[in-house]
Chains A and B, each alone.
Chain A
Amino acid sequence: MASGERETYLNKEYGIKSWLLTVDHKRIALLYLVSITFFFFIGGFFALLIRLELLTPAGDLVQADTYNKLFTMHGQVMVFFFLIPAVPAVLGNFLIPIMIGAKDLAFPRVNLLSWYLYIIGGALMLYTILNGGVDTGWTFYTPLSTEFLNTHVVTAGLAIFVAGFSSILTGLNFVVTTHRMRAPGMTWSRLPLFVWAHYATSIIQLLGTPVLAITLLLVVCERLFHLGIFNPALGGDPLLFQHLFWFYSHPAVYIMILPGMGIVSEIVCCFSRKRIFGYTAMALALLGIAVVGFLVWAHHMFVAGISLYAAMIFSLLSYFVAVPSAIKVFNWTSTMYKGSITYQTPMLYAFGFIGLFTMGGLTGLFLASLGIDVHVTDTYFVVAHFHYIMVGGMVMAYLGGMHFWWPKISGRMYPEGWGRLAALLVFVGFNLTFFPQFILGYMGMPRRYWDYSHSPEFQILNVLSTAGATVLAVGYVLPMIYFLWSMRYGKPAPDNPWNAAGLEWMVPSPPPTFNFEEQPVVTWEAYNYDEIKEEVPVAQ
Chain B
Amino acid sequence: MANNVDALYIFLLVVSGMMTVAIFTLVLVFAVRYRKRPGQRAEQIDGSHALEITWSLIPFCIFMVFFAWGAIIFFQERKPPQNSAEVYTVAKQWMWKFEHMEGQREINELHVPIGRDVKMIMTSQDVIHSFFVPAFRIKQDVLPGRYTVAWFHATKAGTYHLFCAEYCGTMHSGMVGSVVVMEPKDYEAWMGGGGNQPLAVTGEKLFTELGCVTCHRSDTQGRGPNLVSIFGKPVLLEDGRTVVADENYIRESILQPGAKIVNGFKPIMPTFQGQISDEQLNALVAYVKSLSQAPSGQTGGRKMATATP
Residue ranges of A at the interface with B (Cβ–Cβ < 8 Å): 59, 64-65, 68, 135, 137, 141, 143-144, 147-149, 231-233, 238-239, 272-281, 302-305, 308, 311-312, 315-316, 319, 322-323, 326-327, 329-331, 333-334, 336-343, 351, 354-355, 358-359, 362-363, 365-366, 368-375, 377-379, 442-444, 446-452, 454-455, 529-530, 535-536
B167, A375: Cβ atoms closer than 8 Å: no
Contacts of A272 in B (CB 8 A): 34, 42
Known contacts: A369-B8, A371-B4. The answer to whether A305 contacts B126 by CB under 8 A is no
Complex: A349 Cα to B123 Cα, angstroms: 48
Q: Which 5 A-B pairs have the closest CB atoms?
A: A444-B134, A232-B145, A371-B73, A369-B70, A370-B74
Q: Could you jot down 15 A-B contacts, CB within 8 Å?
A: A141-B127, A274-B42, A277-B48, A303-B141, A305-B146, A326-B56, A337-B34, A358-B19, A372-B5, A374-B77, A377-B139, A444-B163, A449-B163, A529-B42, A536-B36
B70, A371: Cβ atoms closer than 8 Å: yes
| Contact partner, B172, options A68, A277, A379, Cβ 8 Å | A68
Kindly state whether residue B44 has any CB partner on chain A within 8 Å.
yes
Complex: A135 Cα to B127 Cα, angstroms: 14
Which residues of chain B from 57 to 76 have any CB-CB distance to chain A below 8 Å in the complex? 59-60, 63-64, 66-67, 69-75
Complex: A112 Cα to B90 Cα, angstroms: 52
A450, B173: Cβ atoms closer than 8 Å: yes
The 8 A CB mask of B217-241 against A (1 = contact, 0 = none) is: 0000000000000000000000000
| Contact partner, A371, options B19, B41, B74, B161, Cβ 8 Å | B74
Identify the stretch in B23-31, B112-120, B187-195, B301-309 within 8 Å (CB) of chain A at 4 or more residues. B23-31
Which chain B residue lies CB-closest to A359? B20
Residue ranges of B at the interface with A (Cβ–Cβ < 8 Å): 4-5, 8-9, 12, 16, 19-20, 23-24, 26-27, 30-31, 34-37, 40-48, 51-52, 55-56, 59-60, 63-64, 66-67, 69-75, 77-78, 93, 126-128, 130, 132, 134-135, 137-141, 143-146, 148, 161, 163-174, 176
Complex: A236 Cα to B281 Cα, angstroms: 20
Contacts of B144 in A (CB 8 A): 143, 231-233, 238
| Contact partner, A322, options B4, B59, B171, Cβ 8 Å | B59
Contacts of A326 in B (CB 8 A): 55-56, 59
A374, B139: Cβ atoms closer than 8 Å: yes
Contacts of B77 in A (CB 8 A): 371, 374
Least CB distance, A352 to chain B, in whole angstroms: 11
Contacts of A231 in B (CB 8 A): 144
B42, A372: Cβ atoms closer than 8 Å: no
B127, A233: Cβ atoms closer than 8 Å: no
Least CB distance, B14 to chain A, in whole angstroms: 12
Complex: A12 Cα to B143 Cα, angstroms: 60
Contacts of A535 in B (CB 8 A): 36
Least CB distance, A315 to chain B, in whole angstroms: 6
| Contact partner, B23, options A274, A329, A337, A449, Cβ 8 Å | A329
Contacts A144-B128, A316-B71, A331-B52 supplied; 14 other A-B pairs, CB < 8 Å = A144-B167, A231-B144, A238-B145, A278-B46, A279-B46, A305-B141, A326-B55, A327-B52, A329-B23, A338-B43, A362-B19, A365-B66, A377-B165, A379-B134
Least CB distance, B17 to chain A, in whole angstroms: 9
Least CB distance, A220 to chain B, in whole angstroms: 18
Complex: A59 Cα to B78 Cα, angstroms: 35
Least CB distance, A184 to chain B, in whole angstroms: 24
Complex: A377 Cα to B137 Cα, angstroms: 11
A232, B128: Cβ atoms closer than 8 Å: no
A323, B145: Cβ atoms closer than 8 Å: no
B27, A323: Cβ atoms closer than 8 Å: no
A454, B170: Cβ atoms closer than 8 Å: no
| Contact partner, A333, options B23, B37, B74, B135, Cβ 8 Å | B23
B26, A277: Cβ atoms closer than 8 Å: no
A323, B59: Cβ atoms closer than 8 Å: yes
Complex: A273 Cα to B64 Cα, angstroms: 37
Known contacts: A232-B146, A365-B16, A371-B73. The answer to whether A446 contacts B64 by CB under 8 A is no
Least CB distance, A147 to chain B, in whole angstroms: 8
A451, B169: Cβ atoms closer than 8 Å: no
Contacts of A238 in B (CB 8 A): 128, 143-145
A330, B172: Cβ atoms closer than 8 Å: no
Complex: A445 Cα to B40 Cα, angstroms: 53
Complex: A465 Cα to B163 Cα, angstroms: 22
A378, B165: Cβ atoms closer than 8 Å: yes
Contacts of A375 in B (CB 8 A): 5, 9, 134, 137-139
Complex: A305 Cα to B123 Cα, angstroms: 11
Which chain A residue lies CB-closest to B141? A304
Which chain B residue lies CB-closest to A241? B128
B36, A148: Cβ atoms closer than 8 Å: no
Contacts of B24 in A (CB 8 A): 355, 358
| Contact partner, B130, options A65, A275, A277, A303, Cβ 8 Å | A303
Least CB distance, B197 to chain A, in whole angstroms: 29
A365, B12: Cβ atoms closer than 8 Å: yes
Contacts of B37 in A (CB 8 A): 340
Contacts of B8 in A (CB 8 A): 369, 371-372
Least CB distance, B120 to chain A, in whole angstroms: 13
Contacts of B140 in A (CB 8 A): 303, 305, 374
Known contacts: A338-B43, A449-B173. The answer to whether A303 contacts B34 by CB under 8 A is no
Contacts of A454 in B (CB 8 A): 161, 176
A144, B34: Cβ atoms closer than 8 Å: no
B169, A144: Cβ atoms closer than 8 Å: yes
Contacts of B30 in A (CB 8 A): 333, 336-337, 339, 341
Complex: A154 Cα to B12 Cα, angstroms: 42
A319, B67: Cβ atoms closer than 8 Å: yes
Complex: A273 Cα to B168 Cα, angstroms: 53
Complex: A141 Cα to B165 Cα, angstroms: 13
Complex: A359 Cα to B19 Cα, angstroms: 9
Contacts of B132 in A (CB 8 A): 378, 444, 446
A339, B46: Cβ atoms closer than 8 Å: no
Most B CB contacts (10 A, CB to CB) among A272, A372, A450 go to A372
Contacts of A308 in B (CB 8 A): 74-75, 78
Least CB distance, A512 to chain B, in whole angstroms: 32
Complex: A288 Cα to B139 Cα, angstroms: 32
